[in-house]
Structure 1
Amino acid sequence: MPEHIPSRTPSEPPRPEGEFAGRVALVTGAGQGIGEAVVRALVARGATVAATDRVPDGVEALAKSLGGPDGTEGAGRVVAYPLDVTDAHAVNDTIARVEAELGPLDLLVNVAGILRTAPATELTDQDWADTFAVNTTGVFHTSRAAATGMTERRKGCIVTVASNAAGIPRTGMAAYAASKAAAAMFTKCLGLEVARSGVRCNVVAPGSTDTPMQRGMWEGDPEAERRVVEGDLASFKTGIPLGRIAGPEDIADAVLFLASDRARHITMQDIYVDGGATLR
């Protein structure tokens, strides 16, 4: 037996501190909520981040708060880019611009999403089309564009933020749930196709999370949060066994783990971050 076994070997993934230093990431839907939390977490760990959103005000303010293009107040840096993920040409142009200005993409995080709630029989054609345009087709556009370069370079990672609604029926959320289920399965199929190139694709499925989207569902109902935690029999919804609403940073932590070298042998997985709400 050897007298000494090193606690770390050269092949072991790096520790979390500074683990994204020198890497370039693009985050969609970065103007608020989960997307903003992902950007902040990546910058804190050394990444250069292209923060994108259809409404530029949020990402521009975020870039300024984190030190702007020079990264003067953080380990990494943020550059804001306006982007509508439903526009394939805009996606291709933006990713080309990001790679020209910041460097080749190492990481794509798909967060951009919208929610239209209504019983399935009352959803309009426009509700359905708009939901799929952002939540599913947008993921297709960005992932296709990013994966092309990643496979050529034989490295990279894509993480799609879907929803636990993709895996369990929800009343009033048929369009949203269906669009997120499609995005999750697309990401897994892509992961299978690009695995031999060393590119990994995974899904994070949040449950109820304290974001503007979630709070928009609670407007005018002071008991809404309590019912989310405790469950609502009338809507066939279980509660949250851990007894709390997630914070955006909880979701960001899962995203960063899957994007890191600590998860280098994980691909095509769907990680539910919902406090046990789907009883999976």
Structure 2
Amino acid sequence: MVASTAPLRGTSFITGAAGGIGAAVASALARAGSPVALLDHDEAVHETAERLRGSGAEVYSVVADVADRHAVDLAVAAAERRLGPIGVLANVAGVLRVGPVLDLDDRDWAACLAVNATGVWNTGRAVGRLMRERGAGSIVTVASNAAAVPRVGMAAYAASKAASVMITRGLGLELAPHVRCNVVCPGSTDTAMQRALWPDPEDDGGADAVVAGSPESFRLGIPLGRVADPADIADVVVFLAGDASRHITLQSLTVDGGATLGV
């Protein structure tokens, strides 16, 4: 039996939707026919919403912190009132704090855990309860290939992303068979977060060093010869959210141009 190619069922709730991968995921889910609820701590999330409305999408946007359980619960309830039952949750909100384990400020460690791990915990519980009651839904968490491969100066980020992977898998096991939960692990992607690591964020040449790799810091290059576009990640999220992946759950799909060599 061939999986359905019908539009996604229900509303899609996307965190981290103000820009980067989150905004790309929101656009892709809207194109797939889903009303989209957008959450971000950045007021720019309303600008993303306006762009999507201009293309004919049904949109609701809210400024909130995914690390705040109460705020998440309120945002989820408001999204359902405005747009209807949530059928897809895309956890895309994330922060990057870099520095050696021995030197990183405690506040940076706490920020990584709060957004990248606790944020997924909060949204997964809030939306997961509703999906369990209805007996249907799909949850996709955007983690990182750093969740499986260590990087110099990125232990806090990697640990928090590894936590988000296991939260999602644990949730998927508990919500089966009716709710599927999967993970997308991007590698280097052309976003503001990625460019902040380059010597000059405005210089596209910064991608060259990423593609080439850095053996002295145990960093692999990218065999496909390019950093990802946010749309490359968004397309995989849409695939995992819809019926085309109806027999896939508890999985992590790495989208990094081969950078982690299939780890």
**TM-score bin (small chain):** over 0.9
The residue that corresponds to 2:196 in the other structure is: 216
Q: In 1, distance between residues paired with 2:200 and 2:30?
A: 36
Moved over 6 A (4+): none
Q: In 2, distance between residues paired with 1:49 and 1:151?
A: 20
The residue that corresponds to 1:4 in the other structure is: none
Counterpart among 248, 253, 256 of residue 238 in structure 2: 256
Query: Amino acid of the residue matched to residue 250 of structure 1?
Result: D
Q: Percent identity?
A: 52
Deviation at 1:84, TM superposition (A): 0.6
Structure 2 length-normalised TM: 0.95
Q: In 2, distance between residues paired with 1:212 and 1:171?
A: 20
The more displaced of 131-140 and 211-220 is 211-220
Q: Give yes or no for the alignment of 1:61 onto 2:47.
A: yes
Q: In 1, distance between residues paired with 2:78 and 2:199?
A: 39
Counterpart among 28, 31, 46 of residue 44 in structure 1: 31
Deviation at 1:45, TM superposition (A): 1.5
- Are the aligned partners of 1:46 and 1:77 in contact in 2 as well (CA < 8 Å)? no
Q: In 1, distance between residues paired with 2:50 and 2:250?
A: 35
Deviation at 1:12, TM superposition (A): 3.2
- Are the aligned partners of 2:60 and 2:79 in contact in 1 as well (CA < 8 Å)? no
Q: Give yes or no for the alignment of 1:265 onto 2:231.
A: no
The residue that corresponds to 1:6 in the other structure is: none
Q: In 2, distance between residues paired with 1:252 and 1:99?
A: 23
Q: In 2, distance between residues paired with 1:77 and 1:139?
A: 24
Q: In 2, distance between residues paired with 1:73 and 1:249?
A: 17
- Are the aligned partners of 1:27 and 1:108 in contact in 2 as well (CA < 8 Å)? yes
Q: In 2, distance between residues paired with 1:138 and 1:260?
A: 23
Count of aligned residue pairs for this structure pair: 260
The residue that corresponds to 1:131 in the other structure is: 112
Structure 1: 5+ residue stretches without partners: 1-10
The residue that corresponds to 2:20 in the other structure is: 33
Query: Amino acid of the residue matched to residue 138 of structure 1?
Result: G
- Are the aligned partners of 1:206 and 1:272 in contact in 2 as well (CA < 8 Å)? yes
Counterpart among 146, 161, 171 of residue 190 in structure 1: 171
Deviation at 1:93, TM superposition (A): 1.0
Counterpart among 125, 141, 161 of residue 144 in structure 1: 125
Structure 2: 5+ residue stretches without partners: none
Q: Give yes or no for the alignment of 1:200 onto 2:180.
A: yes
Deviation at 1:102, TM superposition (A): 1.1
Query: Amino acid of the residue matched to residue 45 of structure 1?
Result: A
